[in-house]
Structure 1
């Protein structure tokens, strides 16, 4: 009697040796598709994974805080004006792209009031749809009790619309939609609560015990900037000269640097939004290099740049990969002598 024994492969290559190429391709496609869906799901959930970042920028002249204390004593102010310690604290928010139903984002932004910043700076793209003005005001409402300045971006003026994503990857501009957003009412509410519109104007005021000179431009991404309107440069008696722009286009940054601004704040880039692992941006959606897509960097010998990676996305691309939405607390301190 002949006994037959069935041999069962023990390694992976042997187990798959008899499979057809079509079966192998189908299996590979299924695995790749599953990984793609998992990545997409993670990217969508990543739009709600808010984080507060904190950076220190040595933009102030030496002895700035000593002069602040001297002024306070001369004016009979008891105790340290502004935030505790030798730092001027700026809360930088940008690119909310708010939708009316985004209650989690509204609550998270409102909670930032607990930081008690010396100044709030909003660099635009607050709106994501026509109905979102009340939602923006709910989010920013507690922050409106602090000194604040703002400029607007393209998605304050025009509603988002579906665009060709290839243009974004190739660095090409997509034209804005023809749907106007109700930015006028939002601007009026900001101003009514004491925030100052820095668009194409210079404004001087005191916050946190420091004398500020702030100048801003309209969104360079839409070529709405008119830096000539700021001609003359910031007040030389200011402790901190602060420039604002939505998109950090090099031509505008160079103008701010040439006029002696110490720190420029911008948004627009979303930190790259669709990044490689480690937050490495593929594109910046403007003229700056990828190393400056988010965070603080030195633009010139005396001027710093901070780019917010923002808190939202277009409603048509609700995904952030390896790029958590954020606001930033900027501790502005004295540079070394």
Structure 2
């Protein structure tokens, strides 16, 4: 190669290195740009007052993540009437007391929760690009178990309802809310038969699950639940501007990787066997690769209003 060719190749390599470093810096900053989304859901009976529901998901906390912990503590200032936690709170063997500290102000409010796979098992180092490939069905349940029982005990001692393959009821601001929940479908802990028909005597019926696999969403919708609350997807985590998510890490299509949608996707409000679906993009990442692209970490304040 001629000297000019070497100089050109060197320039391209240098430019690529700078661009790669810039992208990595941006992605690391994006993963720490915690955001509150606000969404209105027309799901209450006519003439009922609005209800403020805080949806928190996928914190993936480690002991050293003080900024994330402070952000979660600050969410109590939003004055929610109800907190729904859709799991993956942990990412470290010693994270439970830090997670409970983060949620302490919110645990003064009525709340419900389910767990995700990363509450049960240590996440470990993974190839982040694998999430962009088709699901091979491999689940890392051979990893060390996290002390998830301590997390459940902390939540339930504060009065939050554990909805792992079970239902429950709460009266919140005069609204009778019936819940049905599933344990994490991502690691096949879901027991679909535990979700029975939505009670007709409740003002609002909510399904709660960590990973929005279609079998779980179908069950809630078929059984008459007004809305389904889920997490897990990280909103795609690495998204393309003006395109959105490339993957959901489950069988939900990328177009519904985050935000408010209908389920089934082509249904309309009032259609039998259909529900609203809210999927949170979550607050965290794998602790070893804290990158997000065009997909800020989030929690959502859902304002439920009359249909």
- TM-score normalised according to structure 2 size: 0.93
Deviations 1:167-217 (A, max 9, x none): 321122442142100000110010001100011111122012100000000
CA positional deviation for 1:22 = 2.5
**8 Å contact from structure 1 (residues 97, 314) kept in 2:** yes
1:250 is the counterpart of 2:214:
yes
Alignment correspondent of 2:172: 207
Query: Partner of 1:235 in structure 2?
Result: 199
Q: Tell me how far apart the structure 1 counterparts of residues 173 and 121 of structure 2 sit (CA, whole Å).
A: 35
Instruction: Note if contact 1:279-1:323 (Cα within 8 Å) is conserved in structure 2.
Output: no
Equivalence for 2:59: 96
Match of 1:325 among 294, 297, 300: 297
Runs of 4+ in 1 over 4 A off after TM superposition: none
Partner of 1:68: none
Which residue of 300, 312, 321 maps to 2:284?
A: 312
Kept in 1, the 8 Å contact 2:195–2:220? The answer is no
Q: Distance in 2 between matches of 1:261 and 1:321?
A: 33
For residues 79 and 129 of structure 2, what CA distance do their matches in structure 1 show?
42
1:180 pairs with 2:136: no
CA distance in 1, matches of 2:112, 2:134: 30
1:234 shift after superposition? 2.0
Distance 2:133 2:203 in 1: 41
Q: Give CA-to-partner distance per residue, 1:80-99, whole Å, 9 cap, x none.
A: xxxxxx31111000000001
* Aligned counterparts of 1:323 and 1:117: Cα–Cα separation in 2: 24
CA distance in 2, matches of 1:113, 1:308: 18
- The higher radius of gyration belongs to 1
1:122 corresponds in structure 2 to 85
Report the TM-score when normalising by structure 1. 0.85
In angstroms, what is the RMSD of aligned CA positions? 1.4
Distance 2:289 2:180 in 1: 32
Q: CA deviation at 1:258?
A: 0.5
Gaps spanning 5+ residues in structure 1: where? 1-17, 66-85
SS of residue paired to 1:235: coil
Q: Whole-Å Cα distance in 2 between the matches of residues 311 and 328 of structure 1?
A: 10
User: Helix, strand or coil for the counterpart of 2:239?
Assistant: coil
Corresponding residue to 2:39 among 49, 55, 67: 55
For 1:124 and 1:315, how far apart are their aligned partners in 2? 16
- Equivalent of 2:223 in 243, 256, 259: 259
Distance 1:320 1:252 in 2: 27
The total of aligned residue pairs comes to 296
Say yes or no: does 1:41 pair with 2:13. Answer: no
Residue 31 of structure 1: which of 6, 9, 15 is its match? 15
Aligned to 1:221: 186
Tell me the distance in 2 between the aligned counterparts of 1:220 and 1:175.
Answer: 11
